[in-house]
Chain A
Amino acid sequence: MSAGQGAFRERVRSAWTEMRENPGRSTLQALGVMLGVASVLGGFSIADSQRRRAEELFVKIGGLDKLNVQPAAAVKDGTTPSALQTANLGLRGVDAESGESLDRMRVAGVSQQKMARMRVRSPYADQERQVSGIAGDYFAINGYSLEAGRTFSAHDLESAAPVAILGKEAASVFFPTGDVVGQQLRVGDTPVTVIGLLREKVFRFREGQGNIFAWRNRLIALPASLVARRMQGDAYERLDRVTFRLPEIHAMSGFSKQLDVLLTANHRLQRDFRLDDMAARMKKMESQGDIYNMIFMLSGVLALLGGGMVNVNIQMATLKERVREVGVKMAIGAGGREIFKEFMTEALLLTGAGGLVGLAIGIAFSKIITASIGIPLHMEAASFAWAYVLAAVFGFVFALYPAVKASRLSPMEALRYE
């Protein structure tokens, strides 16, 4: 009985000696843990990397932090609209304002958008194009930044000034010489001056894939008031889209509900608008992550189970050698508890060391996989913790059976075991 101080250290030391004395057996036993930890960590990391990439994409394309309001037909086809329905003026700037005043603390930005298809002409090109009449924080919300010139001033937006800001692609089509700011463009019949050029927007999900933001570089932006009033003659300045940005993603569902109630009241209880279903979107994102995690957790657990079986198998295969050993140790004075502790110490040491190696293998594994599918590697501390804790639990559980069995051997039978 190694009672007294330093007993634990002694046990660890002798377990370590034991491991060194039986390198083959120890390596095989640790192998299961290594592979289990590696597959849990690798699985989590690949899922995390993939999800991180998807979130990046989501945020960039106007993801989770934005709420869109669009007009919708309140009247079914073939029915005559009621007086109430015809009296409504659709989605307008006033909706954006009342939405913003609903929760000034949380709304970080509002943008308004009015779409139109127009003939756009320059000295170099003449094309039918979609133009966007915009107002509010459109550029900021959609992640545009200026490369040259200036953005619309409040005065431009109010007075329907004949000015335009171009995306990179649009600029290169209409002004291939590269001289963009200050040039004249005809949109419909209206001559407008280009006052700004936007930086190119690029996002590829994986290396080597196409730029999924190519369409954003086709933007031809004008003040919304210009498009509505001067080009379409709409005195009410109806809008095609109002976007609210809430940096706090968790406030989104609540805000979405409040806005729905407010706009319904404003629109005389006619549902002639449509809100993004944020709750559903959030849920989908989250459940996708959960499924990934479940799958990888399960595969890791299966690997650890396999590893555990291998471990028990090896214990059984070396049983004869071990039983004799236990018999000798018992004869010279090791009690059952001491034998149990020795077995457990050895198993946990093996699990610990194997787990560390497994983490290293897991990192390498994740690197190889993410590199081969061309996304940046993203690993979270929680994944390391999970992988290691799982391994420790499995190591403990699978060590228990042989350890208990060994500790209950009768010294005489163990000594005579053949």
Chain B
Amino acid sequence: MKTTETRAIIEVDGLTKVYGANGTAVHALRGIDMNVAAGEFVALIGPSGSGKSTLMAILGCLDSPTAGSYRFDGERVDGLSGSALARIRNEKIGFVFQNYNLLPKASVVRNVELPMLYAGVARRERRERALELLETVGIGDKARQLPAALSGGQRQRVAVARALANRPKMLLADEPTGALDSKTGHEVLALFQDLHSRGNTVLLVTHDPTIAALAGRRVEIHDGLVRPEEAAA
């Protein structure tokens, strides 16, 4: 991955997000500038209400900014249509959520297959890759089970496997250890570090400074702005 290390995955310029109408408008983001290069492990940190979740949603192409520009993987994505954003999420971003967000009634392997289903990957290939990924995250033996039969740590591993399904440009983890005890949490974080060491770009959203310390770089959000001293990289 050495050749692509200098290439920017995220280029954000003057990003703002306003909720609500004129009178009751809430300015969640008030002009964010930040960059993430390919292969970086970045922690996005900030207390609740700082606008961190809003930024995460926009960076993850789940939401559109009110103003400002956002280039993801060299492509301008602010103002793209819903279906275009869906395609970017599908092909280039892997999500890991605090509460796992697995489909409760689908088996573990089917959960991992789902992003590939939307990408139009053939059935056999899908199944093979899903099993391979489950092996990678260390729960290859749980493929046929339902998420409810798994422990929190195992569920989060399923979520990581699912996030990796379409070989994304970036892993976006939103408080991935928030629902886990500290031991399991550390295991999951170790998994992210491992993935980073293998060349994956990881953006970790957290409110916990000790977790953020594991990342190569911290970006702190406060009152809808990036704290200046942390922004320099």
A interface with B by C-beta (< 8 Å): 1-4, 6-7, 10, 14, 17, 21-22, 324-325, 327-338, 410-412, 415
Task: Give which listed residue, A10, A21, A328, A412, contacts B57 with CB less than 8 A.
Answer: A412
A10 to B127, CA, bound (A): 13
Select one of B95, B110, B122 contacting A331, CB under 8 A: B95
Q: CB within 8 A of A332: which of B63, B105, B114, B123?
A: B114
Residue contact B87 to A331, C-beta cutoff 8 Å: no
Identity of the chain A residue whose Cβ is nearest the Cβ of B83 in the assembled complex: A335
Cβ–Cβ contact B105 & A22, under 8 A: yes
Does B8 make an interface contact (CB < 8 A)? no
Known contacts A4-B120, A14-B117; 13 additional CB pairs below 8 A are A1-B119, A3-B120, A327-B101, A328-B102, A330-B89, A331-B62, A331-B97, A332-B89, A333-B90, A333-B119, A334-B118, A335-B83, A338-B118
Chain A residues within an 8 Å CB radius of B40: none
On whether the beta carbons of A330 and B103 are closer than 8 Å, the reply is: no
B176 at the interface (CB under 8 A from A): no
Q: Which of B41-61 touch A at CB < 8 Å? A: 57, 60
- Residues from chain B with a CB closer than 8 A to the CB of A3 are 120
Q: How distant is the Cα of A337 from the Cα of B110 in the complex, in angstroms?
A: 21
Collect the chain B residues with CB atoms within 8 Å of residue A14's CB.
117
Task: Check if B120 sits within 8 Å of A332, measured CB to CB.
Answer: no
Query: Which chain A residue lies CB-closest to B57?
Result: A412
Q: Which residues of chain B are near A332, meaning CB under 8 Å? A: 89-90, 95, 114-115, 118, 162, 165
Interface residues of B in 123-172 (CB under 8 A from A): 123, 162, 165-166
Across chains A and B, which 6 residue pairs bring their CB atoms closest together, nearest first?
A333-B90, A335-B86, A21-B105, A335-B83, A4-B120, A332-B115
Given A17-B110, A412-B57: A330 in contact with B120 (beta carbons within 8 A): no
Interface size band for B:
20 to 34
CA distance A14 to B106 in the complex (A): 10
Q: Is the CB of B82 within 8 A of A336?
A: yes
Question: Across the two chains, which residue of chain B brings its CB closest to A410?
Answer: B63
Q: Which of B60, B83, B103, B118 contacts A2 (CB 8 A)?
A: B118
Q: How many CB-defined contacts (below 8 Å) exist between A and B?
A: 82
| Chain A interface, DSSP helix/strand/loop, else mixed | helix
CA–CA, A334 and B83, complex, Å: 8
Instruction: Give 30 pairs: A residue, B residue, CB < 8 Å, sorted on A.
Output: A1-B83, A1-B86, A1-B87, A1-B90, A1-B119, A1-B120, A2-B118, A4-B120, A10-B117, A10-B123, A17-B110, A21-B105, A327-B101, A328-B103, A331-B97, A331-B101, A332-B114, A332-B162, A332-B165, A333-B119, A333-B166, A334-B86, A334-B90, A335-B87, A338-B118, A411-B62, A411-B86, A415-B62, A415-B97, A415-B101
Q: Smallest distance from the beta carbon of A20 to chain B beta carbons, Å? A: 9
- Check: B91 CB closer than 8 A to any chain A CB: yes
B62 neighbours in A (Cβ, 8 Å): 330-331, 411-412, 415
Residue ID in chain B nearest A329 by CB atoms: B114
Interface pair B91/A328, CB less than 8 Å apart: no
The smallest C-beta distance from B172 to any residue of chain A, in angstroms, reads 10
CB distance from B206 to the nearest CB of A (A): 18
Interchain CB contact under 8 A, A333 and B63: no
| Known A17-B110, A410-B63: A333·B103 in contact at CB below 8 Å | no
Residue among B110, B118, B166 with max Cβ neighbours from chain A (10 Å): B118
Chain A residue nearest to B54 in the complex (CB): A412
> With the chains together, A3 CA to B122 CA distance in Å?
11
In angstroms, Cα B154 to Cα A144, docked, is 86
Neighbouring B residues of A6 by C-beta, 8 Å: 122
Nearest Cβ in chain A — how far from B209, in angstroms? 25
CB A331 to nearest CB in B, in angstroms, measures 5
Tell me, in angstroms, the Cα distance from A1 to B85 when the chains sit together: 11
Complex Cα gap A4–B117 (Å): 11
In whole angstroms, how far apart are the Cα atoms of A201 and B162 in the complex? 79
Chain B residues lying within 8 Å of A329, measured Cβ to Cβ, are 103, 114, 118
Most buried by B among A4, A324, A333: A333
